[in-house]
Structure 1
């Protein structure tokens, strides 16, 4: 049951539409009106294509496992980390010692900075692939090996509706209404709105979505760290009035003190998707700064660390909800396996854009209404089409 090879595939595919986050927060598409924080602090890098890195782990038993390293930008850099640094640590490792292998990978860059970003994303891809291989060897679904499922169907929210551009007025709100209506008509009963352009326009966008979905639906808001504290307080109070489920990343993720003050001021639950390890999560939980933790399995150290973060949140009375955004069918499948086994799950994110990377698995997971069924087959519960992977990798 030893790993004999680790192989990476850099995938890039052009979607038929611009990713909803890029439409709101990228340097090319975002148009904030507020003067502070300055735009230079709030414009993020996005790729014109949907990019990711798939990881293929093969074993001496002939079992193959697949994982995914989150790589929305700089995918070749992520693949190089795996090929040059992680693979030599993993080849020869036993599948039944995944946590030991995780610790070995994590420690590899401890003296050089290692606890977020490219290193954790690369590590995540290898970890997921090892769990997939181990579960396939045992002919069990991954969720059975990480504690067992709490649910047969995982609730999901549609991610997401871009808020109206700053200063767009009634025309901008008409655009929000059209997108929200489409998702409602698809059967979703939970939805997330991308905000963070200007408080007034953001508040109006959330009201528009609430009006479309009605009082019983779950409406969430993601500001992607665009506000400073007074703006976040203003928007957070308005979100509370409209009955939003949580307020995601209102401030930059490095501002622990700001999150603590915001949590003390607002009634709405605060959520954050940028915590890549349990160590960083613990700082926020001890400070009472978060109510919903959003580990991304392809960013936060894979299945091993995602489940640790969820368990830690549970110990502090906080909820966990896997962050997904953009990625391939592997990302979705790994997230569903983790979500099924989390006792403190809130709701799983599901990107509703046309996803060209779903083609890596013909049996990729899709929601029916506002839930995704939990696969009971071995491993991640999907079958990777290696020809499709190699074709997308060019």
Structure 2
């Protein structure tokens, strides 16, 4: 008899940070009693620590699979969804039916409009854990279960330059360039002297061959975004990420049609249904699936749909403890349209001790973790830090 899921446990993991994400607070940015800070540059809330939600599935034969999703804000919401709703409906199912299970769980709340947010985040953690189990049952790496490996190595770009001044950020980027990285992305909300000054300084410091992108963090109207992107283009802008609010599909379409720079979007999307209308409108040239929001099933559907429409895929990568990062690398390696992958160095490097396995990012390239399933699992230190709910 095929193995079935016998147990579903969900945990939180909190990891202190030396520096707040995107760098030290700017004037008027205060940390509240919950440890949250709102960045004035994009009006978005961030925690002052790394925090993630981790799922552990165990089969009737004792095999364990791990999944992970966002826990940076209100982790109790995703935990409650897993504990109260998704987990019980996974018990008794075969991990080999992972795509069917994903569709069944998605359908549970379809008519209530829960096609995004915490519900799909929670589903992503379950989906990743099921794929991990499915691959471990076959004693194969996850990439093999997704159709095979298209990339031996994945190029990585340096994301975020968390230093206080523009000169310090340029020096910091140059340090990574000396380590073998040739692609970079700066965050507009903390480009204190303006985007043009930021990219001009980076270009001067990094040279003509470096690729430099700008994360615009959804703050502009369409016309503002067009003007901002055109102003950066003389300095060789690689791509412009999130130029308008996520819900402004018309605005994204307007921007993409009026600039020379490729427009990138998709970090916040949960399913392929988010991509379909944007492809129909030719609203972006680069798709940025985020594994922690989507899970393996939807990540692959988005990637394959993008490939079928000749779009580039450059996955987004916010990282908790690294479980969904490993899943993202496996899925990315199976997609021919993936040309690069985000490298959140300020999270990946200090948190890598929390995983077993050989996942790495070195000299400008990711190394896919080897071994069955995700190729990684929580380390002994991480197991001691997990808090069960």
For normalisation by structure 1, the TM-score amounts to 0.90
SS of alignment partner, residue 6 of structure 1: strand
Residues 25 and 152 of structure 1: is their aligned pair in 2 closer, same or farther, counting only changes over 3 Å?
farther
In 1, the alpha carbon distance for the partners of 2:273 and 2:23 equals 27
In 2, the alpha carbon distance for the partners of 1:44 and 1:156 equals 26
Equivalent residue number for residue 360 of structure 1: 354
Q: Is the 8 A contact 1:65 1:133 kept in 2?
A: yes
Matched, 1:187 2:180: yes
Equivalent residue number for residue 329 of structure 1: 322
**Pairwise CA RMSD:** 2.3
SS of alignment partner, residue 161 of structure 1: coil
Structure 1: state its 5+ residue gaps: 33-38, 165-171
- 1:1-394 equivalences in 2 (<5 Å): 1-20=3-22, 27-28=29-30, 42-162=42-162, 172-196=165-189, 201-272=194-265, 273-300=267-294, 302-355=295-348, 356-363=350-357, 365-385=359-379, 388-393=382-387
CA drift at 1:113? 2.2
In 1, the alpha carbon distance for the partners of 2:366 and 2:43 equals 33
In 2, the alpha carbon distance for the partners of 1:305 and 1:266 equals 29
CA drift at 1:359? 2.9
In 1, the alpha carbon distance for the partners of 2:162 and 2:127 equals 33
Q: Is the 8 A contact 1:146 1:341 kept in 2?
A: yes
User: For each residue in 1:104-125, what CA deviation from the matched residue of structure 2 results, as whole angstroms up to 9, or x when unmatched?
Assistant: 1111111222111101111000
CA drift at 1:253? 0.5
Q: Which runs of 4+ in 1 moved over 3 A?
A: 21-32, 196-200, 354-357
In 2, the alpha carbon distance for the partners of 1:255 and 1:175 equals 34
For normalisation by structure 2, the TM-score amounts to 0.91
In 2, the alpha carbon distance for the partners of 1:6 and 1:27 equals 39
Residues 26 and 326 of structure 1: is their aligned pair in 2 closer, same or farther, counting only changes over 3 Å?
farther
Residues 123 and 216 of structure 1: is their aligned pair in 2 closer, same or farther, counting only changes over 3 Å?
same
In 2, the alpha carbon distance for the partners of 1:275 and 1:383 equals 26
Residues 197 and 359 of structure 1: is their aligned pair in 2 closer, same or farther, counting only changes over 3 Å?
closer
Q: Is the 8 A contact 2:151 2:336 kept in 1?
A: no
SS of alignment partner, residue 238 of structure 2: coil
Residues 61 and 304 of structure 1: is their aligned pair in 2 closer, same or farther, counting only changes over 3 Å?
same
CA drift at 1:319? 1.3
CA drift at 1:69? 1.1
Instruction: Kindly tell me the number of residue pairs found equivalent between the two proteins.
Output: 378
The structure in which a higher percent of residues are strand is: 2
Residues 326 and 376 of structure 1: is their aligned pair in 2 closer, same or farther, counting only changes over 3 Å?
closer
